[in-house]
């Protein structure tokens, strides 16, 4: 099989990676950041060779469509044009109730995705835009949509249903869960990395700018912190996480907030940024001597552990814990802060291992191992593309 291109479009970025179609070895990866303002391009080959700087022929205020065209041109100039590809995979945040697994994209699929925009208005438009543009630029190349919600599709009704009148559930108002592509990667990669079977009761903490946790039993997700939207659950960089709905009613009634203002408050002004008044970036908060920064970090760890306790209840115990994504992989004080609240469950980290960022950071004789696994949504997508094209 020829190579596989993977695209992951965010609100202001476009990540890309190319994998060999045979072994799924990564050939190169890169991204364009700063879309809509000042685009910055970076790419790297596994051997360590890197390229960075301005994107060729890309204007300052370019969006995803122009960025994708520029990336494809750069790939072609570096011997990875469309003629070298078997297909392209796309990270799509939401599949709704329609798509609970990857799908080869045609006009009907694209129309269905457009209908789902309202379920994830801050995420879906970018993925759909990249998908639509890729079909225009390489019309003969198969496109495969892979969904973050799919990993959670088999959760029990008690974990999915919202306590609202049944008619709303039938209209699609229920818990979906997100970050599923990376959860899938962790579940697949962990046994290979440890040389041991997957723990029966596994808790995975995807801690990045967006953050969630999932309870995995016998390899299947059974409960997660994010629900109908990506604003639910854990405190995040600028998103509130779980919030008493009565507060929203009061903000509308007493503060005169409209829908747009509420959305901006919950998604862009809250979380770590709102708590600290300094930044939503965990790196800045950990480096700050301002007591508000430390208070925000403490709050983040405490409530992450509270949510972890809920998921451990769904599992009936815990046999393993994984930290993944930007904060989970790189912020040793956060990992320690969360685990310290779980010591009563015999969950612990060894300080030296944790600070060094080793793969296994728990004591050697731990009854509940704790690991750090690098996030890799792109590899999970490449697996799906290869399987779909072969199938």
Report how many helices (DSSP H) and strands (DSSP E) the chain contains, helices first: 15, 13
Is 97 one of the annotated active-site residues of the chain? no
For the beta carbon of residue 181, count every other beta carbon within 10 angstroms: 28
Query: Which pairs with CB-CB distance under 8 Å and at least 24 residues apart come from 75-84?
Result: 75/5, 75/16, 75/18, 78/28, 80/3, 80/5, 80/18, 80/27, 80/28, 82/137, 82/138, 82/140, 82/141, 84/2, 84/3
Question: Considering 148, 154, 218, 244, which one is annotated as catalytic?
Answer: 148
Return d(Cα 143, Cα 120) in angstroms, integer.
21
Beta bridge partners of 41: 32, 53
Return d(Cα 271, Cα 241) in angstroms, integer.
7
Beta bridge partners of 145: 90, 103
- The answer to whether 327 touches 334, Cβ cutoff 8 Å, is yes
Give the residue among 206, 200, 120, 180 at the shortest CA–CA distance from 369.
200
User: Active-site residues: which are they?
Assistant: 148
């Amino acid at each position: 099989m020829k190579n596989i291109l993977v695209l992951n479009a965010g609100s202001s970025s476009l990540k890309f990676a190319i994998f060999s179609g045979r072994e799924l070895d990564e050939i190169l990866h890169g991204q364009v950041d700063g879309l809509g303002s000042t685009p910055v391009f970076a790419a790297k080959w596994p051997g360590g060779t890197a390229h960075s700087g301005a994107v060729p022929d890309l204007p300052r205020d370019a969006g995803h469509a122009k960025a994708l065209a520029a990336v494809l041109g750069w790939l072609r100039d570096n011997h990875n044009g469309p003629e070298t590809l078997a297909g392209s995979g796309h990270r799509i945040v939401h599949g709704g109730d329609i798509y609970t697994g990857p799908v080869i994209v045609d006009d009907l699929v694209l129309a269905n995705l457009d209908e789902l925009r309202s379920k994830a208005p801050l995420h879906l438009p970018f993925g759909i835009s990249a998908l639509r543009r890729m079909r225009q630029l390489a019309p003969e190349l198969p496109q495969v949509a892979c969904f973050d919600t799919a990993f959670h599709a088999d959760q029990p009704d008690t974990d999915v249903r919202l306590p609202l009148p049944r008619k709303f559930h039938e209209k699609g108002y229920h818990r979906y869960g997100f970050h599923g592509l990376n959860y899938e990667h962790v579940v697949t990669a962990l046994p290979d990395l440890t040389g041991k079977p997957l723990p029966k009761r596994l808790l995975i903490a995807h801690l990045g700018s967006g953050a969630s946790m999932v309870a995995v039993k016998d390899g299947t997700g059974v409960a997660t912190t994010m629900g109908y939207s990506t604003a639910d659950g854990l405190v995040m960089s600028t998103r509130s996480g779980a919030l008493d709905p009565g507060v929203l009613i009061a903000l509308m009634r007493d503060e005169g907030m409209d829908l747009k203002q509420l959305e901006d408050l919950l998604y862009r002004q809250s979380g770590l940024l709102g708590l600290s008044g300094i930044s939503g970036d965990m790196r800045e908060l950990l480096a700050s001597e301002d007591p508000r920064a430390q208070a925000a970090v403490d709050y983040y760890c405490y409530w992450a552990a509270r949510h972890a306790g809920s998921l451990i209840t769904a599992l009936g115990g815990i046999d393993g814990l994984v930290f993944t994504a930007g904060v989970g992989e790189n912020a040793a004080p956060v990992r320690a802060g969360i685990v310290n609240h779980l010591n009563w469950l015999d969950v612990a980290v060894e300080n030296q291992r944790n600070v060094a960022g080793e793969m296994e950071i728990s004591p050697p004789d731990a009854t509940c191992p704790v690991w750090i696994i690098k996030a890799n949504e792109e590899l999970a997508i490449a697996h799906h593309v290869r399987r779909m094209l072969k199938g």
